[in-house]
Amino acid sequence: MERSKTKFITESEQGLIAIENVDADICTICGMEYLTAESDEYIEKTVEEISEKK
């Protein structure tokens, strides 16, 4: 596993939401990405804020 940055994309009622440069542990063999706990919290908060604005 290697700590790196990734892009998180999700779909909401408003459309697609893309959040770039979030920390993730990425498998150097298969490329599977695992978000850190901090990134998961940040994404959850950001998606919630975006959903409330629209």
CATH of the domain at 42: 3.10.20
Q: What's the domain range around 9?
A: 2-53
Average pLDDT of the residues of the chain: 92
Residue 54 has pLDDT above 70, yes or no: no
Q: How large a percentage of the chain has pLDDT more than 90?
A: 76
Tell me the per-residue pLDDT of 17-35, one tens digit each, with 9 for 90 and over: 999 999 999 999 999 999 9
Q: How large a percentage of the chain has pLDDT more than 70?
A: 98
User: Which three-class secondary structure string do you get for the chain?
Assistant: CEEEEEEEEEEECCEEEEEEEEEEEECCCCCCEEECHHHHHHHHHHHHHHHHHC
Number of domains the chain is built from? 1
Residue 23 is encoded by which pair of tokens? 């920390």
